[in-house]
Amino acid sequence: MEPRLETNRDNWNNRVKVHVESRFYDVEGWLRDTPGPPPREMEALGNLEGKSLVHLQCHFGMDTLRWAQEGAIVTGLDFSPAAIDEATSLAQRAGLSERASFVCANVYDAPQVLSGSRFDIVYVSLGSLCWLPDVASWGAVVADLLAPGGRLYLHDVHPFTSCFDDAGERVIYGYFEEPNSPFIFDSTSTYTDGEELSATRTYEWNHSIGEIICALIKHGLVLDSLSEHDWTLFQQFPWLVENASGQLVVPEGRPRIPLSFTLLLHLPSKGDEQLDFCQV
Ligand SMILES: C[S@@+](CC[C@H](N)C(=O)[O-])C[C@H]1O[C@@H](n2cnc3c(N)ncnc32)[C@H](O)[C@@H]1O
């Protein structure tokens, strides 16, 4: 694995224990109440009973296991051994081990590591694409993992917000992908409550909405929907306020900007009509 990703992996290994013990994730509450996936995701994906789902960059598996609770056969993949250990143990504690397995690998190696398996759903949740230097290669990975007729569900941080400084006041970073010019951060904090990190360095990349969509349709996926949301799920900027649904939103008086987005695409089955309308 390339050195910048190794550095990121050290940072993520360090975050796992902090996150598992945080109020933000509330693992004990989740085990007690076993809430399923968010209603908007259930509405988008429908009944996944018996369907196969691979969660790329699954962290310690909580978002993955929500789908196992709904009857899906889930595989979580993450490059952090600490995350995969916690995910495996969480699956056992939740009584979901029979429907859930977890694999430690770089996302770019997923098709090989998963031995060419094809899935009904490729699922990616908030805070994922910024860790990847090259979204075009990621698009090829997603296409390789989907069964014909399979769907990608991606909910992530809106790349427009990644252009701002920590205070969310000034645009200081570029919107478009620059594989050789990552954003370099040194921070002892993470997005949850909890103790300080010792592995502080991270390398992150922005990918524009256009780059993400074209990375996928270039490999034969068909775009079903793109939604840009005026809400997110973590305190990305100090001035975001929580609404009645627990989402973080822009307060009144500030310009409304997109904070996260959801993409849904599918890989056509043989014989499906396919429109070839994008060349990057
Ligand atoms: C913000 S977390 C995703 C969080 C998820 N939405 C959740 O709340 O559980 C990002 C994850 O990406 C993983 N990751 C980063 N780069 C990766 C790579 N190249 N291959 C595989 N996993 C990676 C990290 O280990 C981390 O678990």
pLDDT exceeds 50 at position 279:
no
Domain for residue 249, yes or no?
no
> Ligand 1 centroid vs 215 CA: distance in angstroms?
19
Are 177 and 170 in contact by the 8 Å Cβ rule? The answer is no
Domain for residue 69, yes or no?
yes
CATH number, residue 73: 3.40.50.150
Any residues with Cβ below 6 Å from ligand 1, and which? 5, 8, 12, 57, 59, 62-63, 78-80, 83, 106-107, 125-128, 131
Mean pLDDT of the 118-138 span: 97
At 280 the pLDDT is: 41
Domain for residue 108, yes or no?
yes
Number of structural domains in the chain:
1
Q: b/e string for 79-111 if b means 16 or more Cβ within 10 A?
A: bbebbbebbbebbeebebbebbbbbbbbbbebb
* pLDDT tier, 274 (very low <50, low <70, confident <90, very high otherwise): low
> Ligand 1 centroid vs 253 CA: distance in angstroms?
34
Cα separation, 155 vs 150, whole angstroms: 17
Domain for residue 44, yes or no?
yes
First to last CA, the chain: 27
Q: For 160-205, write each residue's pLDDT tens digit.
A: 999 999 999 999 999 999 999 999 999 998 999 999 999 999 999 9
Domain for residue 245, yes or no?
no
Domain for residue 107, yes or no?
yes
Q: For 33-57, write each residue's pLDDT tens digit.
A: 988 999 999 999 999 999 999 999 9
Average pLDDT over the chain, rounded to an integer: 95
Domain for residue 30, yes or no?
yes
Residue nearest to atom 27 of ligand 1 (CA): 59
pLDDT exceeds 90 at position 220:
yes
Provide the sign of the torsion angle of the four alpha carbons 37, 118, 102, 51, taken in this order.
positive
> Ligand 1 centroid vs 77 CA: distance in angstroms?
9
Query: CA 227, 163, 15 angle in degrees (round to 5)?
Result: 85
Task: Return the best residue to mutate from 128, 207, 260 for the ligand 1 pocket (most ligand atoms within 8 A of CB).
Answer: 128
Domain housing 104? 3-211
Q: For 103-127, write each residue's pLDDT tens digit.
A: 999 999 999 999 989 999 999 999 9
Cα separation, 54 vs 100, whole angstroms: 10
Cα separation, 205 vs 184, whole angstroms: 9
* pLDDT tier, 273 (very low <50, low <70, confident <90, very high otherwise): low
Task: Return the best residue to mutate from 2, 56, 59 for the ligand 1 pocket (most ligand atoms within 8 A of CB).
Answer: 59
Residue nearest to atom 14 of ligand 1 (CA): 57
Q: For 64-90, write each residue's pLDDT tens digit.
A: 999 999 999 999 999 999 999 999 999
> Ligand 1 centroid vs 129 CA: distance in angstroms?
9
Structure pTM?
0.95
pLDDT exceeds 50 at position 237:
yes
Q: Which amino acid is at 104?
A: C
User: What residues does 266 pair with on adjacent strands?
Assistant: 151, 222
In this structure, what DSSP letter does residue 164 have? B
At 155 the pLDDT is: 98
* pLDDT tier, 272 (very low <50, low <70, confident <90, very high otherwise): confident
Percent of the chain surpassing pLDDT 90: 92
Cα separation, 40 vs 36, whole angstroms: 11
- Strand ranges for 109-205 from DSSP E: 119-124, 146-157, 183-186, 201-204
Domain for residue 53, yes or no?
yes
